[in-house]
A and B are shown apart, each in its own frame.
Chain A
Amino acid sequence: MPAASGESRFFLLMGAIGGSYVLLILLLLLADIAYVSPGDFRAALGNPEIQAAISLTLKSCTVSAILSVIVGTALGYLLVRFQFWGKHIVNTLVDIPIVLPPLVLGLSLLILFSRPLPGLGYSLDDWLRPRGLSITFTQWAVIVAQFSVAAAFAVRTMRVTFEQMNPRAEDVARTLGCTRSQAFLQVALPQAGPGMLTAFTIAWARSLGEFGPILVFAGATRGRTEVLSTSVFLELSIGHLEAAVAVSLLMVVLAVIVLSILRLTGGRTGG
């Protein structure tokens, strides 16, 4: 039938255009898989430095994702439910880490923590060190660098989550006897659960892929501030291409797991 054949042609045309990108990703993965042998993979996974990087990656991504969801939920709720002076500025500011080149963000973090603050004569690190906390070029710096970018995505997700939720339920809760905070905790937050899970997953995935800010702000000291993305860089820099590809594939597996969770939760942003 002409109509059916027209529909098929349209499907094929759109499929060819969109499919070219899907094909590119598949070829990239296949190229990586073909490049390494199972032995390379086992050797990479058996390397104590890469094991330490895996451990730090899992821990730092989880901590930065949790922090991102907490900040994203609070800020997202404020930006959606309240009118206040400077709201547009705050909205713009929290989007900056999304558009800023990662290296620039890392450089900014380095300057913020290690250069003397104007008018004070000492840096944030100088202030924190006597209090038992050192940030720059430590594992804390990895978390701060990951959080700086991941939180922006969490804020965006939670903003959409709360925008999609009817504020009327919270209003009614307040007439029933809730304070603002009780209405938030008992009515808004349970509805925001799926959105928070999405924000966590996105923040975790962003943290996993973070490289530039970590390199600049935390360094890439083997066994200390090395995460998987820096492992790839370090292995490449010493000519271990197979190990670099094996670690890359491990990151792909982690990304697939995280994205599967996102799909399973429906990629929902609100109740």
Chain B
Amino acid sequence: MIQLVDLCLNAGKFRLDRLCCTIPTGSYAVLMGRSGQGKTTILESICGLRPVRSGSIRLGDRLVHNLPPGERGVGYVPQDLGLFPTMTVREHLDFALRLRRWSTIDCNQRVRELAELLGIGELLGRNVRNLSGGEAQRVALGRALSFRPQVLLLDEPLSSLDEETRSQMHQLLVGVKQAMHTTTLHVTHSRDEAAALADVRLTLADGGIRVDTGE
């Protein structure tokens, strides 16, 4: 579950005040809204990269708004992916696992699972600088899912992809959603993405989050 209660944030030149929203455990929520409304700010606040002014953020049964990013259990895929340019695909997939001191056997097993799920088994030894846009997206997604986070945050993950790759990534995200059952908040401008993926549709407008019933 992701629950925001009276969340107040500073977002560049404007402020977001008293945001409230609940995304049930295991749901795939899509957040839409015009550019510059603060969608990315909300994601950054949930994963701990931006301080909150007041209010609370609950992930599962834990209040996390005072915890450092690494203790929140959030997998985050930013819009520009933020891949590590000096690392290989394998090093991305086991990065969080090595931090958690998983054994080599468990790391390798998890990397194999992710590589199979995301179709990147052939790329494990490649440096991420040599990947196509779609491949890089898969690696960023795999890195975020690697440590089995309770919450996954995706910031316009498909916006920079061509039509064909975007369609493949749609299918992939549907597959990930069915396989992982991770509570997900996905920011997008695309109604097609929302229609294909969303269990819960949210709209950020006029400084508040509205649940879109689709009616």
Is the pair B143, A176 in contact by a Cβ cutoff of 8 Å? yes
Contacts of B76 in A (CB 8 A): 171-172, 175
Residue A131 is within 8 A (CB to CB) of chain B in the complex: no
B72, B83, B84 interface centre (most CB from chain A within 10 Å)? B84
Is the pair A166, B80 in contact by a Cβ cutoff of 8 Å? yes
Residues of B70-119 whose CB lies within 8 A of A: 70, 72, 74-76, 78, 80-87, 95-96, 99-100
Q: A166-B80, A168-B82 are in contact. Are A175 and B99 (CB under 8 A)?
A: no
* Chain B min CB distance to A111 (Å): 44
Of B72, B78, B99, the contact of A172 (CB 8 Å cutoff)? B78
Instruction: Give Cα distance in the complex from A33 to B96, angstroms.
Output: 59
Residue A209 is within 8 A (CB to CB) of chain B in the complex: no
Instruction: Give Cα distance in the complex from A146 to B85, angstroms.
Output: 34
Instruction: Give Cα distance in the complex from A54 to B143, angstroms.
Output: 51
Of B78, B86, B147, the contact of A168 (CB 8 Å cutoff)? B78
Contacts of B80 in A (CB 8 A): 166, 168
Q: A175-B72, A177-B70, A178-B70 are in contact. Are A169 and B48 (CB under 8 A)?
A: no
Is the pair B82, A174 in contact by a Cβ cutoff of 8 Å? no
Q: A173-B95, A174-B48, A174-B49 are in contact. Are A179 and B82 (CB under 8 A)?
A: no
What band does the interface of chain A fall in when counting residues whose beta carbon is under 8 Å from B? 10 to 19
Contacts of A177 in B (CB 8 A): 70, 96, 99-100, 147
Instruction: Give Cα distance in the complex from A179 to B144, angstroms.
Output: 17
B70, B99, B144 interface centre (most CB from chain A within 10 Å)? B70
Is the pair A182, B99 in contact by a Cβ cutoff of 8 Å? yes
Residues of B13-31 whose CB lies within 8 A of A: none
> Mind listing 13 A-B residue pairs with CB under 8 Å?
A166-B80, A168-B78, A171-B76, A171-B78, A172-B76, A174-B68, A174-B70, A175-B74, A175-B76, A177-B147, A178-B70, A179-B70, A190-B86
Given contacts A171-B76, A176-B95, 19 further A-B contacts (CB under 8 A): A166-B80, A169-B82, A169-B85, A173-B95, A174-B48, A174-B69, A175-B70, A175-B72, A175-B74, A175-B76, A176-B144, A177-B99, A177-B100, A179-B68, A182-B99, A190-B87, A191-B84, A191-B86, A271-B85
A-B complex: 7 closest residue pairs judged by Cβ atoms: A168-B82, A172-B82, A176-B96, A177-B99, A177-B70, A190-B86, A174-B69
